[in-house]
Amino acid sequence: MLYPHAMTRLIHELAKLPGIGPKTAQRLAFHLLTLSESEVGKIAEAMLEAKHKIGFCEICGQLSESSVCPICTDSNRCNGMLCVVEEPKDVITLERTRVFKGQYHVLGGAISPLEGTGPDDLRIKELLSRLQTGSFTEVVIATDPNVEGEATALYLSKLIKPLGIRVTRLARGLPVGGDLEYTDEITLGKALEGRVEF
């Protein structure tokens, strides 16, 4: 039996979300139909509001509701330390550890020669100009502990060291070949404390 048009459309749109296959999309669509109109309205509104209000911080590249994010405007976090991560979600993951008290820089990905992502596709120029004008004394490289993350870390250390700034990398102990996102807080906190000189 074919679904009514509106239902087909809803399933089709939901299936575009990452990790949602046709079966899950169908289940979600049926669930949405059982909710009250106001509940469905809240979900739809939240999606639209996030889309309208959230952009990227001009300084660090993190998701932000204002042109400069709360971390970049917080003078208590100007301790000379800058933590470089691949994705906005990595900032959230590191903030949960409550170990790091400095500022962040989001690259927007990692160097991946085979995928064609080179240094020019990342926010590396922005990083260098921050380092040249700012008062940073240490850069903590917190890219993923996989091949792309390591390549990015190596590349950055080569660029930053000549500026006379200390460059450190999250300590090993993180699962090799994994994603930062799937690492538990304790392991990540330890890795931050035990970071090592390049």
Partner 1 sequence: MSMYRTRALVLKSRNLGEADRVLLLLTEDYGKLEAAVKGARRQRSRFVGNTLPFNLINAMFFTGKNLDQLSQAELIHSFAVLREDLVKMAYASYWAELIGEFVPERENVQEIFKFLLAALITLEKCDAPDLLNLAFQIRILNYLGYQPELETCVSCGDGSASLVHFSAEEGGVVCRRCGADLRDLIPVSRNDLRFLTALSTTDIRKLNQIEQTGVQLGTIRAMLRRFIEARLDKPLKTQVFLDSVLA
Binding residues vs partner 1 (CB under 8 A): 18-19, 111, 113-116, 118-120, 146-147, 150-151, 154-155, 158, 175-179, 182
- Contact between 94 and Zn ion (CB under 5 A)? no
Residue 14 interacts with, from partner 1, Zn ion, none (CB under 5-8 Å by kind) = none
The least CB distance from residue 85 to Zn ion, in Å, is 12
- Contact between 57 and Zn ion (CB under 5 A)? yes
Q: Taking CB under 5 A as the rule, which mask of x and - marks residues 59-88 in contact with Zn ion?
A: xx-x------x--x----------------
The per-type count for the chain, helices as H runs and strands as E runs, is 8, 7
The string of DSSP letters for 44-110 reads HHHHHHHHHH-EE-TTT--EESSSS-HHHH-GGG-SSEEEEESSHHHHHHHHTTT---SEEEE-SS-
Q: What angle do CA 78, 80, 85 make, to 5 degrees?
A: 90
| Chain centre distance of CA 55 | 13
How far is the C-alpha of 189 from the C-alpha of 100, rounded, in Å?
Answer: 9
How far is the C-alpha of 47 from the C-alpha of 155, rounded, in Å?
Answer: 37
Contact between 81 and 167 under an 8 Å Cβ cutoff? The reply is no
Residue range at the interface with Zn ion (CB under 5 A); choices 31-39, 54-62, 81-89, 151-159 = 54-62
Query: What are the structure tokens assigned to 106, written together?
Result: 């989001």
Residue 109 interacts with, from partner 1, Zn ion, none (CB under 5-8 Å by kind) = none
The least CB distance from residue 6 to partner 1, in Å, is 28
Name the residue with tokens 């289940």: 27
Residue 69 interacts with, from Zn ion, partner 1, none (CB under 5-8 Å by kind) = Zn ion
Residue range at the interface with Zn ion (CB under 5 A); choices 28-36, 41-49, 55-63, 150-158 = 55-63
Q: Which residue lies nearer to partner 1 by CB, 55 or 175?
A: 175
Interface contacts to Zn ion, rule CB under 5 A: 57, 59-60, 62, 69, 72
